Amino acid sequence: MKISTSALLKKLGLKAVNEGVFDGKWSGSGPVVPSISPIDGKVIASVRTATAADYEHAVTKAQHAFQLWQTIPAPKRGELIRQFGNALRETKVELGALVSLEAGKIIAEGQGEVQEMIDICDFAVGLSRQLYGLTIASERYQHRMMEQWHPLGVVGIISAFNFPVAVWAWNSALAAVCGDSTIWKPSGQTTLCAIATIKIAERVCRANDVDPAIFSLTVGDRVAVGEPMANDKRIPLISATGSCAMGKSIALNVQKRFGKVLLELGGNNAIIVAPSADLDLATRGILFGAVGTAGQRCTTTRRIIVHESIEKELTKRLVAAYKQVPIGNPLEAGTLMGPLINLPTVDAMQKAIAELKAEGGQVLYGGEKLTGKKYPGGRYVTPCIAKAKAHYKIVHEETFAPILYVITYKNLDDAIAWQNAVPQGLSSAIFTNELRESEKFLSAIGSDCGIANVNIGTSGAEIGGAFGGEKETGGGRESGSDCWKTYMRRQTVTINYSASLPLAQGIKFG
């Protein structure tokens, strides 16, 4: 894909230096920080970040915007999101290209991420007419009991580099139709994507005479923005995507003030490959899951637990497939794996491989740094396949890079136990053509993950289902199903239309 960076920035309303704070107006009085493309290590543009004072002003504005926005009928709020989805359709190519440029994703994944934003907008539009409560049978004569839902307030969104725009959309589209305003702290690695997204949202708000501060933005570091946001009683919900360590810190701070958290943290996802599996299907599913986004998805396939009878055949197929993966500039057609996000991630991958070897593991393919003119910036590697055992310490850790551990099993109970033995619990899968195996995997004694798939891989979740996981993944759920309830406050209502005052449980008083 031939692309002029300057033309792309201009199309998206970006400049050489951009204000990183939006609270109805664009500003920023903190340090100017460059955005560096992992493709070549060069500066794309720069962003003037937020100070603590900028953050304070943005929260105040988001609060003010919420006060009016919550009074707008939900279907009217949905109409705004419908228009936002259409605006994303019009800029899908450009915004997707910026995702590739700033996050290092291949073209298909950059475009696909914007499509996720469009899809969740469509979902939210329908949801805006379905914010249902319940009517509950009362035990008291001539009483009606019901449940209703009200807007929650300002929602804080903290997102990671690997999905620089979709995660914000998952949260903000639902929050908006639920009547909330949002304030966004994006990853410092992908600040331009955030600014471009908010500029699109701003245009839609202004066209509808809506205060655009319902979609506020504060680009800043942990001290100026992250910690104040976690500790801010004016923000009843913090939705945070990132590492387990980051999530633990945020959860402690938010819960100390009795706030709510929605955490989407680490994943150490496994695929069980049974003797009856379709190996062609399994190989394709594993390849995308392990190599997609250069192994930098929370749903990346990191462990293969394969039956000993087919281990050699599956390994041979995987190595052959890995050797054919085109690695290089993600903006070029045909590339299937781009760079890692930064140099520390490359170092972390090399360290993990060294630890694997020290524990007795064996690299079957890949894991090398790539150099030369085709691989500028020092962020390119070959995806790695390694033979390991389920108890290795490194196997229980999430290395955010393309390392795939192959582990053999003899019986399905062991395979499920090994899959569940890691601290994380996001996504899981089994490839099998045996009904009993698939049903056991999906049963209460099967996978302990928030996502469990049969004959598809661990990556590629649709927006219609609740997305999230258990254990150190954080327990949060975003996107579809009834996740909208997270962004609202529940209220139980009892109406007495009798002339007496009976008490519940048959209590007599007085």
Residue among 19, 113, 264, 472 flagged as catalytic: 264
SS3 labels along 146-212: EEEEEECCEEEEECCCCCCCHHHHHHHHHHHHCCCEEEEECCCCCHHHHHHHHHHHHHHHHHCCCCH
CB 301 within 8 A of CB 269: yes
In this structure, the dihedral spanned by the alpha carbons of residues 266, 322, 393 and 446, taken in order and rounded to 10 degrees, is 60
Give the bridge partners for 335, in sequence order: none
For residue 439, the tally of other CB atoms under 10 A from its CB is 12
437 an active-site residue? no
For residue 79, the tally of other CB atoms under 10 A from its CB is 16
- Of 134, 65, 34, nearest to 482 by C-alpha is 134
Residue among 298, 384, 449, 483 flagged as catalytic: 298
Beta 43-48 vs 32-36: how paired, if at all? antiparallel
29-47 as b/e: b if 16+ CB within 10 A = ebeebebbbbbeeeebbbb
Instruction: For residue 114, give the amino acid letter.
Output: V
For residue 324, the tally of other CB atoms under 10 A from its CB is 8
CB 19 within 8 A of CB 84: no
Give the number of C-alpha atoms closer than 13 A to the C-alpha of residue 23, restricted to the C-beta side.
19
102-134 as b/e: b if 16+ CB within 10 A = bbbbbbebbbbbbbbbbbbbebbbebbeebeee
Q: How far is CA 187 from CA 160, 191, 243, 402, in A?
A: 5, 6, 12, 21
264 an active-site residue? yes
Which residues carry out catalysis?
264, 298
